Amino acid sequence: MIDMEPVNIGQALASFDALWSPRILTTVNDYDVRVAKVRGEHLWHSHADTDEFFLVVDGELDIALRDRTVHLGQGDTFVVPRGVEHKPSSERGAHILMFEPSGTSTVGDHHEEVPDHVDATTGHALRRP
């Protein structure tokens, strides 16, 4: 069931510290709207059946593709098409918002070994006051 109360992105981001560990703000149809704090490198991965939408809320995010790196600043969006290998990273840290089908793993379907600092999750429920 959809929670029919507003959600403030800034308050949601302030409610957790874990990196690469998205929180689900809400669900729209069969998609999660997730926010995450990121710093350092994620890992090379791809999603076989879905595109991945990124919006940088704060900071800067680089998305390495096999043939180039896309640099995103605050307010920038980018879509990684399904099946395309990519590796997000942020040297100084960033806050990002993503739209993904519910149940989509943050490390995709095909990925390199998952390091301890990466939370391979389908999103954590947002704790509300």
Report yes or no: 79 and 102 within 8 Å, Cβ to Cβ.
no
104/124 Cα distance (integer angstroms) = 12
pLDDT of residue 113: 72
| pTM confidence score | 0.88
Q: How high is the mean pLDDT of the chain?
A: 89
pLDDT of residue 71: 98
Residue 10 gets which letter from DSSP?
A: H
pLDDT of residue 1: 55
pLDDT of residue 68: 98
38/94 Cα distance (integer angstroms) = 5
pLDDT of residue 11: 94
Residues of the chain short of pLDDT 50, as ranges, are: none
pLDDT of residue 129: 57
pLDDT of residue 124: 78
102/57 Cα distance (integer angstroms) = 21
Q: Give the Cα-Cα-Cα angle 60, 63, 68 (nearest 5 degrees).
A: 125
Burial of 15 (0-12, 13-18, 19+ CB in 10 A): middle
